[in-house]
């Protein structure tokens, strides 16, 4: 026999050939390690610890949310050598064999591949025998809805009168296809889709344990792409790590998924907020060069608008927000945000109807530009500086107030649009608010402030202590920008605390409205018909319901 020569290579334990994918390596082995299915864990734990264990369980839910994982942990809990309970030891022979897929009394059946009655008859015949290794023989039937009608009928008898040593764990992504006769004999648990926050939290935990450098945006993008499935998310994570050469970068993840970075979407919305069609189309062109999925870009845009609206209307209670989002929240009217969101989601729906996805996307962002509410934005125009007298304070004292005026001073300011309606004079603070188109949070700041004076390029604004929360740094910066655009030159704003005796535009409006309501109430009480109703029937006027009649043309 001829001699055979060769070389045998011994691979080290940590060789790349022995790499285990993250979805398998980090598969939960205890109930405490499960993510997002607390309602199922609580019910099963109570059943195991109390010894009240039904013979058939049905786990439903989308792929990758933990159906078969829960079934395997449940099998360990039933058969652990150190005792039955919700906390299997994970170290005994039975636990090790189940984790390794070698436990003889845990029979996993893929109904998608074994749909026929012969397969089920073999299962039923085997169920009559006592377990070989553990306390219970556990049948895990995955995608049980794929069984044929004859197979279901054959299984039904055993589900009705199972041997005492048998437990059935059924899993399906489509419970609607199960016969009601089977459903009625099982305890059903509906597993929830995981939220992006739950998936990203688990990814952060895994990446820290694996010592892999990662960017937060990359993790967030993968968590959303997982679409509720932690297993899919970990598979994408494996792919992204390989794509990035061992690290996780947002640019690599976007390139892998064909998505667009959040920064690009923010630039689009900033151009819309600035009413700058040229900048908007330039950015759309840059986005188009990435050949993205434009439906996904619209999703990102809608998500950004959602975060902006939460910051505008809920504020700090929604948690930390990026400075860029805070700036956009101050720049956009809340009504405008709602309109843009509706345009984005409608365009997302109608994208297949557009001549091309790019055309549909172009028209969506241009529609946001075209349908901005009247007065919601201002445009910048160059104008010469003018000299106006500035006497302080600019506020109107409340009646009965003896607040002394400050010494007059002169300030140089600039005006925009002098040819189209004349420059503002700073004596009329409410008119300047209207001219600058101050709406939303920045408008609230302006309406609750009074103009105390002008020092060079700085405006001194006074606010009562109770309204100090409006003076957020990002909103003050946006106020400076809007006033600078209206006046045609950079403006700095200084906020000072004032007493309650000074009346702001918001106070003035509230006083006028209260006076009108009082006048309307007096007129109503003086009406002969109303007096007759009061005298005859004991009627009364409910004060909070009185509203002045608006004068309409």
Tokens (6 digits) for 541: 């006027």
Contact 329, 292 (CB under 8 A): no
Please tell me the distance from the alpha carbon of residue 437 to that of residue 442, in angstroms, as a whole number. Answer: 10
| % of the chain residues with pLDDT over 90 | 19
pLDDT digits (tens, 9 = 90+) for 296-328: 899 989 999 998 998 888 775 445 667 778 888
Question: Distances in Å between the alpha carbon of 117 and those of 58, 175, 228, 457, 543?
Answer: 20, 20, 34, 87, 77
53-57, 100-104, 182-186, 419-423: least confident range: 419-423
Please tell me the distance from the alpha carbon of residue 193 to that of residue 195, in angstroms, as a whole number. Answer: 7
DSSP designation for 132:
S
Q: Which of 351, 305, 353, 354 is nearest to 331 (CA)?
A: 305
Please tell me the distance from the alpha carbon of residue 132 to that of residue 136, in angstroms, as a whole number. Answer: 9
Residue 58 gets the label, from left (phi > 0), alpha (psi -120 to 50) or beta, of beta
Average of per-residue pLDDT values in the chain: 79
pLDDT digits (tens, 9 = 90+) for 183-214: 988 999 999 889 889 999 999 999 999 999 99
Please tell me the distance from the alpha carbon of residue 169 to that of residue 129, in angstroms, as a whole number. Answer: 18
Q: For residue 50, how far is the Cα from the chain centroid?
A: 39
Element (H, E) at 458: strand 458-464
pLDDT digits (tens, 9 = 90+) for 455-482: 767 888 888 877 777 776 677 888 888 8
Nearest 5°: phi and psi at 34?
-70, 145
Contact 323, 343 (CB under 8 A): no
pLDDT at 497: 84
Please tell me the distance from the alpha carbon of residue 274 to that of residue 426, in angstroms, as a whole number. Answer: 24
Q: 440: which residues sit within 8 A by CB, 6+ positions away?
A: 312, 329, 330, 332, 333, 334
Q: Give alpha helix (H) positions in 161-318.
A: 180-183, 196-210, 216-225, 230-243, 250-257, 262-273, 277-288, 294-313
78-92, 241-255, 271-285, 425-439: least confident range: 425-439
Assessment of whether the complete model's pTM goes beyond 0.75: no
End-to-end CA distance of the chain: 113
Question: 486 pLDDT band (50/70/90 cuts)?
Answer: confident
Other Cβ atoms less than 10 A from the Cβ of 509: the count is 13
Average pLDDT of the residues in 29-54:
89
Tokens (6 digits) for 162: 């199972």
Q: For residue 445, how far is the Cα from the chain centroid?
A: 27
């Amino acid at each position: 026999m001829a001699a055979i020569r060769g070389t045998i290579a011994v691979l080290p334990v940590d060789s790349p050939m022995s790499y285990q994918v993250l979805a398998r390596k980090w598969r939960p082995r205890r109930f405490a390690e499960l993510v997002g299915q607390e309602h199922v864990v609580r019910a099963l734990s109570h059943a195991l610890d109390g010894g009240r264990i039904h013979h058939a369980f049905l786990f439903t839910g989308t792929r990758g949310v933990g159906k078969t994982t829960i079934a395997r942990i449940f099998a360990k809990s039933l058969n652990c050598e150190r005792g039955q309970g919700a906390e299997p030891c994970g170290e005994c022979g039975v636990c090790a064999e189940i984790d390794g897929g070698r436990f003889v009394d845990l029979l996993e059946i893929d109904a998608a591949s074994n749909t026929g009655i012969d397969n089920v008859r073999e299962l039923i015949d085997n169920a009559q025998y006592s377990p070989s290794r553990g306390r219970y023989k556990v049948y895990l039937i995955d995608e049980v809805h794929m069984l044929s009608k004859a197979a279901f009928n054959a299984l039904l008898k055993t589900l009705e009168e199972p041997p005492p040593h048998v437990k059935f764990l059924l899993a399906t992504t489509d419970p609607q296809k199960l016969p009601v006769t089977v459903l009625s004999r099982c305890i059903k648990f509906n597993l929830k889709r995981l939220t992006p926050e739950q998936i990203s939290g688990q990814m952060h935990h895994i990446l820290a344990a694996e010592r892999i450098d990662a960017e937060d945006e990359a993790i967030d993008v993968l968590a959303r792409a997982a679409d509720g499935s932690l297993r899919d998310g970990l598979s994408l994570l494996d792919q992204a790590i390989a794509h990035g050469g061992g690290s996780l970068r947002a640019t690599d993840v976007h390139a892998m998924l064909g998505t667009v970075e959040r920064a690009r979407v923010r630039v689009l919305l900033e151009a819309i907020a600035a009413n700058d069609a040229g900048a908007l189309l330039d950015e759309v062109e840059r986005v188009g060069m990435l050949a993205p999925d434009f439906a996904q870009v619209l999703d990102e845009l809608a998500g950004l608008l959602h975060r902006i609206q939460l910051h505008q209307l809920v504020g700090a209670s929604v948690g930390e927000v990026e400075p860029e989002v805070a700036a956009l929240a101050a720049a956009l009217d809340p009504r405008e945000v709602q309109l843009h969101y509706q345009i984005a989601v409608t365009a997302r729906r109608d994208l297949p109807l557009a001549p091309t996805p790019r055309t549909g996307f172009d028209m969506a962002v241009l529609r946001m530009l075209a349908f901005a509410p009247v007065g919601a934005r201002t445009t910048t125009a160059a104008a010469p500086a003018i000299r106006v007298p500035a006497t302080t304070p600019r506020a109107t004292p409340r009646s009965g107030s003896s607040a002394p005026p400050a010494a007059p001073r002169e300030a140089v300011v600039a005006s925009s649009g002098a040819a189209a309606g004349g420059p503002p004079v700073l004596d009329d603070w409410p008119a300047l608010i209207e001219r600058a188109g101050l709406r939303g949070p920045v408008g609230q700041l302006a309406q609750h402030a009074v103009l105390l004076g002008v020092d060079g390029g700085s405006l001194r604004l006074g606010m009562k202590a109770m309204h100090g929360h409006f003076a957020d740094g990002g909103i003050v910066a946006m106020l400076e920008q809007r006033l600078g655009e209206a006046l045609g030159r950079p403006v700095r704003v200084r906020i000072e605390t004032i007493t309650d005796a000074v009346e702001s535009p918001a106070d003035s409006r509230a006083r006028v409205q209260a006076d009108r309501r009082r006048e309307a109430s007096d007129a109503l009480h003086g009406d002969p018909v109303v007096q007759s109703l009061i005298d005859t029937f004991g009627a009364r006027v409910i004060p909070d319901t009185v509203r002045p009649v608006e004068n309409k043309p």
